[in-house]
Amino acid sequence: MEFEYQVSDSTGKILSGTISAESPGAARELLRKKGYIVLELKEKRELTARRFSLFKRKIHEEVLYSFFRELAILLRAGITIDRAFEILITSIPHEHFQEILTNILRDLQRGKSVVEAFRKRGVFSELTLSMISAGESIGNLPQAFENIADYLKFQIQFRREIQNTLAYPIFLVIASLVTLFVIFKFILPRFFSIFGETHLPLPAKVLLSLGYLFSGKAFLFFALGLILFFILFKRGYLGFLNPYLQGVWFKIPVIRGLLLQLNLSRFSYSMHSMLKGGIEFVDALFLSKNLVNYKELREFLESSIFEIRKGRAISEVFSSSRVLPEIFSHMLKVGEETGNLKEIFLELYNIYDEKFRSSVKRLLTLLEPVIITFTGLIVGFIVISLILTVMSAGVIRL
């Protein structure tokens, strides 16, 4: 069997690769003999399966949330996991997800472990699988499924709030673009055709050129290119551009602050969920860092895993970071001393979630008048150009 691994060497450097072994335990033992600290180990899937998975219908988080929540409720009611799956499969409208659950049920009936049956499908995140593994090891699967549902609910609510917050600015931008498109494509060309193109003032010639651009194939290709870029980016085919895009965003102070607050909020909630589910701190830290796309913070979290494994105190390691605010390490010190880190991470989530929401609201409060002002300037330039055109033609005589 082939396994993909991620390990830490004696210097703290993170390494990754593949290894052949008869079982996961044998693979871990081989890596330990080489002097590595195993951070992650999973069975390697075939490339053809990965390609095929790109074209599968996406399972929405709302469907996953409902499934895990209902599964936790059924298990707490004393129903066996096999029977719970049989009940839920018939109530799920998503055919692709029904097929996945049917295969999981078949594996469970054959005697496979719960986490192994879920992992084999290749559609569940490592965070979800880790929570299931922790719950299965301590004999509390209902709590594990409930923790997964709570985290999915957090993700759903967070995404909805972002979408609702951005709805009005996006509407303003689209409305402005549609208005300008109609003006440049239909109104200006007909107006300027009355006076001819040879005696137009310079502003009018600029507007006429823009009108030709909007009415030509160049604009169509540009719009199609943007749509194609968005689809490829959402599909993950343009992942190699992420470092360049992040480099641009992080150079803007306001955006950099927002991204840090966003990443700290997501990271803190993830740590709370996994610690609550019984996952060890270092394992929770390793999985939670995968949710962080703030480069400096992610690099610090990767190095902190090795430092904590060496025996350094958690608060001591986090206090050495130049990225994290002081309150973060101070609260972790309190949590470490009281043995209640999971609640401290919940408090940190509440703090940075509130900060992020407030910052976004302030930014959008400034963005809306900027969009309106910019659109007004363009319309004003158009009006002035029209007036100059009429005056140059001698229609209005002073």
DSSP string, 289-317: HTT---HHHHHHHHHHHHHHHTT--HHHH
pLDDT at 65: 92
d(CA 69, CA 54): 27
pLDDT range class, residue 373, cuts 50, 70, 90: confident
**DSSP strands (E only) in the chain:** 2-8, 14-20, 37-43
d(CA 382, CA 388) in angstroms, rounded, equals: 10
* b/e burial code for range 370-388 (CB count within 10 A of at least 16 → b): ebeeebeebeeebeebbee
- How far is it, in rounded angstroms, from Cα 344 to Cα 68? 25
Most confident of the following: 225-234, 328-337, 378-387? 328-337
Question: How much is the mean pLDDT over the chain?
Answer: 80
Question: From edge to edge, which strands make up the β-sheet containing 37-43?
Answer: 14-20, 2-8, 37-43
Could you give the angle at the alpha carbon of 263 between the alpha carbons of 261 and 265, nearest 5°?
A: 70
78 pLDDT exceeds 70? yes
Q: Residue 30 pLDDT more than 90?
A: no
Mean pLDDT check: name the lowest of 20-24, 106-110, 114-118, 259-263. 20-24
Q: What residues does each domain of the chain span?
A: 2-44, 61-153
Asked if residue 60 lies in contact with residue 39, where contact means CB atoms within 8 angstroms, the answer is no
Tokens for 81?
Answer: 């996991």
Of residues 144 and 223, more confidently modeled: 144
Q: In this model, does residue 55 exceed pLDDT 50?
A: no
**Residues 6 or more apart whose Cβ sits within 8 Å of residue 134:** 144, 274, 277, 278, 279
Scan for tokens 């401290």, then name that residue.
344
Assess contact for 106 and 83: CB atoms under 8 A.
Answer: no
pTM assigned to the model = 0.66
Q: Using one digit for the tens of pLDDT, what is the confidence trace for 243-287?
A: 666 667 667 777 888 888 888 988 898 888 888 877 888 888 887
Q: Distance between CA atoms of 3 and 17, rounded to whole angstroms? A: 8
**Beta partners for 4?**
18, 42
CA distances from 96 to 36, 84, 121 (A): 39, 18, 12
Q: Give the CATH number of domain 61-153.
A: 1.20.81.30
pLDDT band at 398 (very low <50, low <70, confident <90, very high): very low
**Which fold does the domain 2-44 belong to in CATH?**
Ubiquitin-like (UB roll) (3.10.20)
Radius of gyration of the chain (CA): 28
> Six-digit token pair at 293?
């796309």
What are the distances in angstroms from CA 83 to CA 71, 101, 132?
10, 12, 18
Residue 44: C-alpha distances to residues 19, 31, 122, 327, 341 (Å)? 9, 16, 10, 40, 34
How many angstroms separate the first and last alpha carbons of the chain? 90
Highest mean pLDDT among 25-39, 154-168, 186-200, 246-260: 154-168
What does the alpha-carbon distance between residue 384 and residue 302 come to, in Å, rounded to a whole number? 58
Q: In the numeric block, which tokens belong to residue 345?
A: 């991470």
Which position has the higher pLDDT, 86 or 237? Answer: 86
Q: Are 39 and 286 in contact (CB under 8 A)?
A: yes
Distance of alpha carbon 16 from alpha carbon 8, whole angstroms: 9
Using the structure block, give the residue that is written with the tokens 């972002």: 162
What's the angle, vertex CA 301, arms to CA 7 and CA 132, rounded to 5?
65
Helices 61-76 and 141-182 cross at an angle (nearest 10°) of 160
Q: Is the pLDDT of residue 151 over 80?
A: yes
